[in-house]
Amino acid sequence: MQGIVTKSTGSWYKVLIDGKEYDARLRGKIRTLKLKSTNPVVVGDIVNLDNDGEQFLIKAIEERQNCIVRKSNKLSKQFQIIAANIDRAFLIVSPAKPHTPQGFIDRFLATAEAYHIPVTLLLNKKDLDTKKASLHRHHLMELYPNVGYEIYNVSFLDTEDVELVSQLVGNQCVLLAGNSGVGKSTLINALLPNSNQKVSEISSSYHKGKHTTTFAQMFLGKHGCKIIDTPGIKDFGMVQTEPNQVSHYFPEMRSRLSKCKYSNCLHTEEPDCQIIKAVERQEIAVTRYVNYLSILEEVTV
């Protein structure tokens, strides 16, 4: 029989079978596979199961349509798979309290591009009207549509905005990502009132969110939608990526790559580089280019 993994703690799993959730364990031979990832089975995986009369046992994992990953830590060669088989990711961004850095946004977008996952940006907390919040909001709302990404200025406390997000979700399997405190749990509670996700206050000292989600978890909504909540992630790092691949994950660069003089151009100091020229002509945002260089430096080490 088959099921879909809805929750993983690393030692046991919740699996949805014919509309009902059951506890499941891994068979030993799967657990001991030599994988570079720290977790062999993740939320969203379609798995084949046996039942020994006492519990369900996961015996095999179906091939993944895609997945979203991050380094288990900055120095490790292993990576953590966050979730699999995602139709769309919603990156939740906050202009302040906590402030979502553009570097985090661009790293997430590049990671999603690498695994062919479309992304929509949800810029939460539209009621924040401080000078810092307003400037950051304006910058993001102007930048990302020009790059090719959808971005919506919303408040998850506004009924009409929640309905808009619900329509965007539709009947898809969507992943919610973002720093701690940006509003993931608030959005899930608004979309799925019976989920009862814990919401935490923002630290008054550092204006950073407190972690309220420990493990990735899938929630089932109306019209067949599936919503995957993820732990608040501080940073993303590219994994299993060659230096000359990084520019392919920036849409505004990807469309210009064929015009560079050298096919292996890294767009740092090469002659007749069309990416550098586009930055100089302000056709590519300097902030995006700087974040590209930062990712490039990481994968080159």
List, for residues 87-135, the tens digit of each pLDDT value: 999 999 999 999 999 999 999 999 999 999 999 999 999 999 999 999 9
Q: Enter the CATH code of domain 2-61.
A: 2.40.50.140
Query: How many whole angstroms separate alpha carbon 175 and alpha carbon 119?
Result: 9
Q: Which of 286, 294, 178 is nearest to 238 (CA)?
A: 294
Segments of the chain assigned to CATH 1.10.40.50: 243-300
Question: Where, residue-wise, is CATH 3.40.50.300 in the chain?
Answer: 68-229
Confidence grade of residue 235 (pLDDT, cut at 50, 70, 90): low
CATH number of 243-300: 1.10.40.50
pLDDT at 209: 41
Q: Residue 66: is its pLDDT beyond 70?
A: yes
Q: Which CATH architecture has domain 68-229?
A: 3-Layer(aba) Sandwich (3.40)
Q: In percent, how much of the chain has pLDDT > 70?
A: 85
- Do 202 and 97 form a contact (C-beta atoms < 8 A)? yes
Other Cβ atoms closer than 10 A to 273: 19
Quick check: 203 pLDDT over 50? Answer: no
Per the confidence metrics, is the pTM higher than 0.95?
A: no
Which ranges in the chain are annotated with CATH 2.40.50.140? 2-61
Per-residue pLDDT band at 286 (split at 50, 70, 90) = very high
Q: What is the 3-state secondary structure (H, E, C) of the chain?
A: CEEEEEEECCCCEEEEECCEEEEEEECHHHHCCCCCECCCCCCCCEEEEEECCCCEEEEEECCCCCEEEEECCCCCCCEEEEEECCCEEEEEECCCCCCCCHHHHHHHHHHHHHCCCCEEEEECCCCCCCHHHHHHHHHHHHHHHHHCCEEEECCCCCHHHHHHHHHHHCCCEEEEECCCCCCHHHHHHHHCCCCCCCCCCCCCCCCCCCCCCCCCEEEECHHHCEEEECCCCCCCCCCCCCHHHHHHHCHHHHCCHHHCCCCCCCCCCCCCCHHHHHHHCCCCCHHHHHHHHHHHHHHHC
What pLDDT is attached to residue 53? 82
What is the Cα–Cα distance from 40 to 106, expressed in whole angstroms?
Answer: 27
